[in-house]
């Protein structure tokens, strides 16, 4: 009986999962496997040069100090942007989920997502207009303040962080909202009526229960930000060299797909390693 | 009599069918965005003239152009290829030899360009010389009152933090080669180039990546001088920006762009008609007024008004003598230059 | 209680500030679509020229329509497949589950430029080629991990005993899903769908490689102009889309629910 039940479960699981994963297999996993194969080639996949299977492209990462330096820089950027998104986004989701009721909540929820539906390149270029000297911030402050100030954030590390936080903040707000909204209000009320201070309620009830959302949001921010290249390039200017831009160059400036692919998979490996190390810690916290 | 009549009907029908077939041709062009072939009025004029419609696809880098050709055999009829890449495309079998007999304007192309060895590998025409121009630099005339004569102005303490640059390894290395008095096609002292670029880093305010970037950054005062392409400078001037294009004593980087026909094109005749239209003086003179690179067609160059940009700047023999034309760059050198440039950028963070 | 009211008010002010931050670039984008300067120079000189030009620019309008169409289809497929997979992950324990979950990260972590290049050569090799079919294939695949992660986050708050209870009362597996699980995760599914739409609607790299010449999406049009740069016409069309989306959202907000139990 137990065996057949288990079989039936397995069958159902396969039925539910296979459409999504077959799709992913054809459209992402197989193409990326081809890329993984290229990363071990001595020459790009086209042309008639002699090709061998080598590890050289991966060794390059360790031989040239600046690759690891830039990866470290990208990881730090990912950490900063993720931390800011969580710190800014979680309270916002809390207000939305717990203090606003009815139609307003739906409307505001949608308002948070709407900026997402505009083109990211257009958004980045708009930030450029806002941040530069004589730009929107600069001009507004000078109108409001009695003294002369000069605000030129463009082409700085801060500009990259602002642009990325803006792009990824909605991820955190949404995922946190989804778990916060599921917390039964009566639980909080009960704790309060038992005299629990606000801090305790937050740390012992709200945070643990909304952790899945925070984790999902954090992952959805951290993972793509580490490999981002568009925002750093446009907003960072000279300060915008990161691991993602170096990978891009291998595909755009030279035809060095093997090295570009090797650097991408190194990035992936490091990101997965970080998630693997972090996951038991997060599970325990849960 | 009857038979002849029947024959002539058949011939007439065939002619109509062929014409209809030609009429239905849709030419697919692969080019940089906004680089001549996709001008709205030009496409319209060509369509009216020949009945062929024109569809565009774009690339953002030469490597991408080659990849698109490799993975889309038969998808394109005309492709723009920089002469430094024509040989590689030919070697990979991506483009076909062009029968120039159907291109009436071909005879008017300046001989040194029409038979440029990079465009005519093995004696056969693989690229029809179309435009050429310079990569040098331009200044904001409001901020830089006297026109600099040396490329070393980029290293001038006075302009620290006011320099724009293009984030391109090859261009950066070639610029530094000019500044250190070397041949851009045969750089002997790469260490000197590296040292020169290292000294440049603190001077740079930002990188620009598109023509609009350049115009916006210049207009907003983000930089006062930056490397630029001659055709783009002409457009910026035509749009009223206070810009002057400078060819310093050390020289500038010259490039030549050709139009090629990819292997597997199903509309070779229409493609040739399009290429013919693109090198036509009538098309060029109108394009030039909006800001364009220099034409390879001697007749078209002669038809320019006296005060036009390409006549005053690029028509000057003294200036042209200083230009070093870019030759194909080996893949090894490209990789070495990229590595050098990336390391400099990484270390200046 | 006075303290509570102050906190409540502070919370709302905070929410307002966040919305302002989120909308700064959108407002600038809209403002620049009414600015005469082609180089986005300040101060703004009012004009509606860009809208007039846009009206005659069939390339941009076609591309915008293409984007909306592709994003809608992507959303439907990705949401359905992703939700099913998330439910399976939640409900069943099976061999290889952990590996399948880890496999969701490569499409998110690897820069889209590399994924797009990989798709281009792979689709070329197996004969799918370029065109709307290829674009759709790519978009759904990129949206799926987001849908699965978001729906899973919501499912984590779900008590499996509810399913057990329904089952012990004789409900079939489908009935359990339909009447117990889905209503609970509905907000997650809606959020996943909105994500999927955003991923597809904004996706430029992959579509850039996979769309057929002359038959492109709006982001592709913008991205392929990046070397030359784009004109405020792009701002105009983006503004129209945002205003249109807002109108649609007003309608959606009237009927949709994101959590009323």
Q: Which pLDDT tens digit goes with each residue over B310-341?
A: 888 777 778 888 889 999 998 889 889 999 99
Residue C130: its pLDDT value, please? 82
Residue C32: its pLDDT value, please? 84
Residue C11 lies in a domain: no
- Which partners does chain B have (≥3 C-beta pairs < 8 Å)? A, C
Q: Is a pLDDT exceeding 70 seen at residue C34?
A: yes
CA-CA distance, B201 to C151, in Å (whole number)?
A: 47
Residue A106: its pLDDT value, please? 75
pLDDT in tens, B263-316: 989 999 999 999 999 999 999 999 988 888 899 998 898 888 888 888 887 777
Instruction: Give the best residue of C81, C83, C153 to mutate against chain A (max A CB count within 10 A).
Output: C153
**Any chain C CB within 8 A of the CB of B228?**
no
Mean pLDDT, residues C62-74: 89
- Residue C39 contacts residue A128 (beta carbons within 8 Å): no
With CA atoms as reference, the chain C residue closest to B211 would be C228
pLDDT in tens, B206-230: 888 778 888 888 888 888 999 999 8
Q: Higher pLDDT residue, A87 or C52? A: A87
Mean pLDDT, residues B237-253: 91
Residue C208 lies in a domain: yes
Domain that holds residue C124: 59-230
Chain C residues in contact with A220 by the CB 8 A cut-off are: 108, 146, 149
* CATH architecture, domain A65-285: Orthogonal Bundle (1.10)
With CA atoms as reference, the chain C residue closest to B40 would be C57
Instruction: Give the best residue of C58, C126, C225 to mutate against chain B (max B CB count within 10 A).
Output: C225
With CA atoms as reference, the chain A residue closest to B163 would be A238
| Angle subtended at Cα A215 by Cα A210 and Cα A219, rounded to the nearest 5 degrees | 155
Chain B residues in contact with A229 by the CB 8 A cut-off are: none
Report CB contact under 8 Å: C228, B213.
no
Q: Is a pLDDT exceeding 80 seen at residue A149?
A: no
Contacts of B91 (CB under 8 A, 6+ apart): B121
Chain C residues in contact with A213 by the CB 8 A cut-off are: 153-154, 156
**Tokens matching residue A87:** 């710190």
Mean pLDDT, residues C157-172: 83
- Residue B58 contacts residue B33 (beta carbons within 8 Å): yes
Same fold, B25-130+255-304 and B133-254+325-347: yes
Residue A284: its pLDDT value, please? 63
Q: Is a pLDDT exceeding 80 seen at residue A138?
A: no
Residue A282: its pLDDT value, please? 67
Residue C215 lies in a domain: yes
Mean pLDDT, residues A112-138: 80
CATH topology (fold) of B25-130+255-304: D-Maltodextrin-Binding Protein; domain 2 (3.40.190)
Phi and psi, residue B182, nearest 5°: -110, 165
- Cross-chain CB nearest to C213 (options B57, B211, B215): B57
Query: What Å distances lie between residue C119 and C78, C102, C136, C182, C210, CA to CA?
Result: 18, 20, 12, 33, 8
Residue C70: its pLDDT value, please? 92
CA-CA distance, B62 to B31, in Å (whole number)?
A: 10
Report CB contact under 8 Å: A133, B61.
no
Residue B12: its pLDDT value, please? 47
Report CB contact under 8 Å: B30, C213.
yes
Contacts of A185 (CB under 8 A, 6+ apart): A98
CA-CA distance, B17 to A26, in Å (whole number)?
A: 43
Chain C residues in contact with A10 by the CB 8 A cut-off are: 92, 94
Report CB contact under 8 Å: A252, B61.
yes
Share of chain B above pLDDT 90, in %: 50
Tell me the shortest Cα–Cα distance from C105 to chain B, in angstroms.
Answer: 26
User: Chain-wide mean pLDDT for chain B?
Assistant: 87
B294 has which bridge partners?
Answer: B132
Report residue C106 CA to chain centroid gap. 19
pLDDT in tens, A188-209: 888 888 888 888 888 888 888 8
The CATH class for the domain spanning B133-254+325-347 reads alpha beta
Q: Is a pLDDT exceeding 90 seen at residue C56?
A: no
Report CB contact under 8 Å: A241, B64.
no
With CA atoms as reference, the chain A residue closest to C25 would be A126
CA-CA distance, B66 to B59, in Å (whole number)?
A: 9
Residue B22: its pLDDT value, please? 46
- Residue C248 contacts residue C254 (beta carbons within 8 Å): no
**Any chain B CB within 8 A of the CB of C225?**
yes
Contacts of B5 (CB under 8 A, 6+ apart): none
| Reported confidence tier of residue A1, pLDDT bands at 50, 70, 90 | very low
| A28-42, B32-46, C98-112, range with the lowest pLDDT | C98-112
Tell me the shortest Cα–Cα distance from C47 to chain B, in angstroms.
Answer: 18
Residue B19: its pLDDT value, please? 44
Residue C249 lies in a domain: no
Q: Higher pLDDT residue, C245 or B12? A: C245
Burial class (CB in 10 A: 0-12, 13-18, 19+), B6: exposed
Report CB contact under 8 Å: B219, C41.
yes
Contacts 24+ apart (CB under 8 A), C155-162: C155/C86, C155/C87, C155/C89, C155/C90, C155/C185, C155/C188, C156/A179, C156/A212, C156/A213, C156/C90, C157/A178, C157/A179, C157/A182, C157/A183, C157/A209, C157/A212, C158/A182, C158/C90, C158/C184, C158/C185, C160/C90, C160/C91
Residue C166 lies in a domain: yes
Share of chain A above pLDDT 70, in %: 93
Chain A residues in contact with B345 by the CB 8 A cut-off are: 238, 241
Report CB contact under 8 Å: C226, B60.
yes
- Residue B289 contacts residue B118 (beta carbons within 8 Å): no
Chain A residues in contact with C181 by the CB 8 A cut-off are: none
Q: Is a pLDDT exceeding 70 seen at residue C15?
A: yes
Residue A48: its pLDDT value, please? 61
Domain count across chain C: 1
Mean pLDDT, residues C102-108: 86
pLDDT in tens, A249-271: 888 778 788 898 999 999 999 98
**Tokens matching residue A245:** 């831009």
CA-CA distance, B65 to B61, in Å (whole number)?
A: 6
pTM: 0.85
CA-CA distance, A172 to A39, in Å (whole number)?
A: 34
pLDDT in tens, C117-150: 889 889 888 888 788 889 999 999 999 999 998 8
Query: What Å distances lie between residue B36 and A91, B32, B231, C245, CA to CA?
Result: 52, 9, 11, 36
User: Residue B133's closest CA among B243, B307, B255, B302?
Assistant: B255
| Reported confidence tier of residue B1, pLDDT bands at 50, 70, 90 | very low
**Any chain C CB within 8 A of the CB of B57?**
yes
Instruction: Give the best residue of A114, A134, A206, A254 to mutate against chain C (max C CB count within 10 A).
Output: A114
Residue C185 lies in a domain: yes
Domain extents in chain B: 25-130+255-304, 133-254+325-347
With CA atoms as reference, the chain C residue closest to A13 would be C88
Chain C residues in contact with B59 by the CB 8 A cut-off are: 224
The residue behind tokens 């200083």 is: B322
Mean pLDDT, residues B5-23: 46
Report CB contact under 8 Å: A119, C42.
no
Strand runs (DSSP E) across chain B, as ranges? 26-31, 53-58, 78-82, 95-96, 128-140, 163-166, 204-208, 225-229, 243-246, 252-262, 294-295, 323-325
Q: Higher pLDDT residue, A50 or C138? A: C138
Instruction: Give the best residue of A154, A159, A254 to mutate against chain B (max B CB count within 10 A).
Output: A254
Q: Which DSSP string do the residues of A172-217 spell out, in sequence order?
A: HHHHHHHHHTTS-HHHHHHHHHTT--HHHIIIIIIHHHHHHHHHHH
Q: Is a pLDDT exceeding 80 seen at residue A2?
A: no
| Half-sphere exposure at residue A143, Cβ-oriented, CA atoms within 13 angstroms | 8
| Reported confidence tier of residue A5, pLDDT bands at 50, 70, 90 | low
Q: Is a pLDDT exceeding 60 seen at residue B3?
A: no
CA-CA distance, B206 to B239, in Å (whole number)?
A: 23
Phi and psi, residue B138, nearest 5°: -130, 155
Residue C261: its pLDDT value, please? 40
CA-CA distance, C228 to B206, in Å (whole number)?
A: 17
Instruction: Give the best residue of A23, A31, A109 to mutate against chain C (max C CB count within 10 A).
Output: A31
User: Chain-wide mean pLDDT for chain A?
Assistant: 84
| Angle subtended at Cα A154 by Cα A148 and Cα A155, rounded to the nearest 5 degrees | 135
Share of chain B above pLDDT 70, in %: 93
Q: Which DSSP string do the residues of A79-144 spell out, in sequence order?
A: HHHHHHHHHHHHHHHHIIIII--THHHHHHHHHHHGGGGS-HHHHHHHHHHHHSTTSHHHHHHHHH
- Cross-chain CB nearest to B335 (options A234, A239, A256): A256
| A228-232, B173-177, B182-186, C223-227, range with the lowest pLDDT | C223-227
Q: Is a pLDDT exceeding 60 seen at residue C215?
A: yes
| A10-14, A57-61, A135-139, A161-165, range with the lowest pLDDT | A135-139
Q: Which residues of A touch B (CB under 8 A)?
A: 46-48, 64, 66, 69-70, 73, 128, 132-135, 154-155, 233-234, 237-241, 246, 249-256
Residue A50: its pLDDT value, please? 67
Q: How many CB pairs under 8 A join A and C?
A: 293
Share of chain A above pLDDT 90, in %: 24
Residue A28: its pLDDT value, please? 92
Instruction: Give the best residue of A21, A24, A88, A260 to mutate against chain C (max C CB count within 10 A).
Output: A24
User: Residue A230's closest CA among A167, A150, A182?
Assistant: A167
B129 has which bridge partners?
Answer: B258
CA-CA distance, A250 to A267, in Å (whole number)?
A: 14
Query: What Å distances lie between residue B293 and A110, B87, B117, B279, C130, CA to CA?
Result: 48, 22, 21, 12, 33
Q: Higher pLDDT residue, C95 or C86? A: C86
Q: State ipTM.
A: 0.86
Q: Higher pLDDT residue, B239 or B184? A: B184
Q: Which DSSP string do the residues of chain C spell out, in sequence order?
A: -HHHHHHHHHHHHHHHHHHHHHHHHHHHHHHHHTBS-TT-PSSP-B--HHHHHHHT-HHHHHHHHHHHHHHHHHHHHHHHHHHHHHHHHHH---TTHHHHHHTTHHHHHS-HHHHHHHHHHHHHHHT--SSHHHHHHHHHHHHHHHHHHHHHHHHTTS-HHHHHHHHHTT--HHHHIIIIIHHHHHHHHHHHHHHHHHHHHH--HHHHHHSBTTB--HHHHHHHTTTT---HHHHHHHHHHHHHHHHHHHHHHHH--SS--
The CATH code of the domain that includes C119 is: 1.10.3720.10
Residue C257: its pLDDT value, please? 57
B244 has which bridge partners?
Answer: B139
**Any chain C CB within 8 A of the CB of B220?**
yes
pLDDT in tens, A174-188: 889 888 888 888 888
Q: Higher pLDDT residue, A86 or C246? A: A86
CA-CA distance, B125 to A178, in Å (whole number)?
A: 64
With CA atoms as reference, the chain C residue closest to B216 would be C39
| A74-88, A193-207, B16-30, B124-138, range with the lowest pLDDT | B16-30
- Residue B211 contacts residue B235 (beta carbons within 8 Å): yes
Report CB contact under 8 Å: B34, C228.
yes
- Residue B109 contacts residue B296 (beta carbons within 8 Å): yes
């Amino acid at each position: 009986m137990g065996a057949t039940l288990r079989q039936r479960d397995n069958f159902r699981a396969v039925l539910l999962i296979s459409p999504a994963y077959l799709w992913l297999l054809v459209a992402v996993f197989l193409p990326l496997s081809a890329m993984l194969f290229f990363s071990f080639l001595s020459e790009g996949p086209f042309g008639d040069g002699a090709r061998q299977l080598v590890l050289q492209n991966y060794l390059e990462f360790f031989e040239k100090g600046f690759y690891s330096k830039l990866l470290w820089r990208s990881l730090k950027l990912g950490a900063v942007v993720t931390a800011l998104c969580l710190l800014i986004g979680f309270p916002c989701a809390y207000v939305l989920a717990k203090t606003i009721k009815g139609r307003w909540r739906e409307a505001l929820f949608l308002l948070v997502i709407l900026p997402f539906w505009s083109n990211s390149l257009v958004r980045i270029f708009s930030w450029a207009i806002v941040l530069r000297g004589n730009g929107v911030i600069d001009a507004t402050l000078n109108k409001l303040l009695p003294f002369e100030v000069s605000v030129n954030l463009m082409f700085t590390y801060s500009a990259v962080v602002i642009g990325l936080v803006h792009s990824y903040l909605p991820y955190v707000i949404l995922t946190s909202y989804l778990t916060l909204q599921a917390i039964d209000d009566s639980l909080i009320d009960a704790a309060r009526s038992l005299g629990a201070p606000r801090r305790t309620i937050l740390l012992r009830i709200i945070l643990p229960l909304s952790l899945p959302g925070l984790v999902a949001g954090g992952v959805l921010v951290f993972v793509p930000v580490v490999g981002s290249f568009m925002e750093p390039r446009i907003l960072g200017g000279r300060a915008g060299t990161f691991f993602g831009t170096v990978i891009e160059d291998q595909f755009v400036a030279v035809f060095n797909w093997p090295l570009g692919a090797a650097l991408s998979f190194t990035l992936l490996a490091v990101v997965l390693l970080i998630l693997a190390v972090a996951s038991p810690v997060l599970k325990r916290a849960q | 009599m009857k038979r002849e009549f029947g024959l002539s009907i058949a011939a007439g029908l065939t002619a109509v069918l062929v014409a209809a077939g030609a009429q239905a041709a849709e030419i697919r062009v692969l080019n940089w965005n906004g680089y001549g072939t996709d001008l709205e009025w030009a496409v319209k004029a060509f369509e009216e003239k020949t009945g062929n419609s024109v569809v565009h696809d774009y690339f953002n880098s030469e490597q991408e152009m080659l990849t698109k050709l490799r993975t889309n055999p038969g998808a394109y009829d005309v492709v723009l290829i920089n002469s430094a890449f024509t040989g590689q495309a030919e070697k990979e079998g991506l483009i076909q030899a062009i029968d120039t007999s159907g291109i009436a304007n071909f005879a008017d192309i300046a001989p040194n360009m029409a038979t440029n060895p990079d465009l005519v590998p093995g004696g056969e025409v693989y690229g029809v010389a179309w435009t050429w121009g310079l990569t040098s630099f331009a200044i904001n005339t409001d901020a830089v009152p006297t026109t600099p004569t040396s490329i070393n102005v980029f290293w001038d303490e006075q302009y620290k933090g006011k320099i724009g640059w293009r984030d391109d390894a090859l261009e950066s290395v070639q610029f530094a080669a000019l500044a250190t008095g070397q041949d851009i096609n045969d750089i002997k002292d790469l260490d000197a180039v590296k040292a020169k670029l290292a000294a440049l880093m603190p001077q740079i305010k930002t990188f620009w990546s598109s023509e609009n970037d350049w115009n916006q950054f210049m207009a907003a005062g983000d930089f006062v001088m930056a490397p630029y392409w001659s055709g783009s400078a002409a457009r910026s001037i035509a749009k009223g920006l206070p810009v002057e294009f400078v060819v310093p004593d050390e020289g500038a980087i010259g490039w030549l762009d050709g139009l090629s026909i990819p292997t597997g094109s199903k509309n070779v005749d229409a493609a040739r008609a399009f290429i013919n239209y693109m090198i036509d003086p009538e098309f060029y003179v109108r394009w030039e007024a909006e800001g364009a690179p220099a034409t390879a067609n001697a007749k078209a160059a002669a038809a320019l008004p006296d005060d036009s940009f390409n006549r005053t700047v690029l028509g000057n023999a003294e200036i042209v003598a200083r230009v070093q034309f870019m030759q194909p760059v080996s893949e090894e050198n490209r990789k070495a230059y990229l590595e050098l440039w990336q390391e400099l950028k990484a270390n200046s963070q | 209680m006075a303290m509570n009211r102050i906190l409540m008010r502070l919370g709302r002010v905070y929410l307002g500030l966040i919305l302002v931050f989120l909308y700064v670039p959108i407002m600038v984008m809209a403002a620049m679509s009414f600015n005469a300067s082609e180089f986005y120079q300040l101060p703004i000189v009012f004009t509606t020229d860009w809208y007039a030009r846009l009206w005659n620019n069939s390339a941009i309008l076609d591309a915008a329509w293409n984007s909306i169409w592709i994003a809608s289809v992507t959303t439907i497929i990705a949401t359905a497949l992703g939700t099913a997979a998330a439910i399976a992950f939640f409900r069943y324990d099976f061999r290889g589950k952990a590996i399948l979950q880890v496999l969701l990260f490569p499409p998110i972590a690897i820069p889209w430029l590399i994924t797009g290049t990989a798709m281009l050569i792979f689709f070329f090799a197996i004969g799918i080629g370029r065109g709307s079919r290829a674009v759709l294939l790519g978009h759904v695949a990129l949206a799926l991990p987001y849908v699965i992660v978001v729906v899973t986050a919501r499912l984590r708050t779900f008590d499996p005993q509810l399913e057990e209870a329904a089952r012990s009362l004789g409900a079939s597996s489908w009935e359990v899903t339909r009447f117990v699980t889905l209503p609970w995760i509905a907000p997650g599914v809606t959020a996943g769908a909105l994500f999927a739409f955003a991923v597809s609607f904004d996706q430029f790299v992959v579509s850039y490689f996979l769309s057929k010449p002359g038959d492109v999406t709006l982001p592709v049009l913008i991205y392929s102009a990046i070397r030359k740069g784009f004109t405020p016409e792009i701002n105009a069309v983006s503004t129209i889309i945002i205003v249109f989306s807002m109108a649609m959202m007003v309608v959606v907000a009237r009927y949709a629910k994101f959590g009323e139990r």
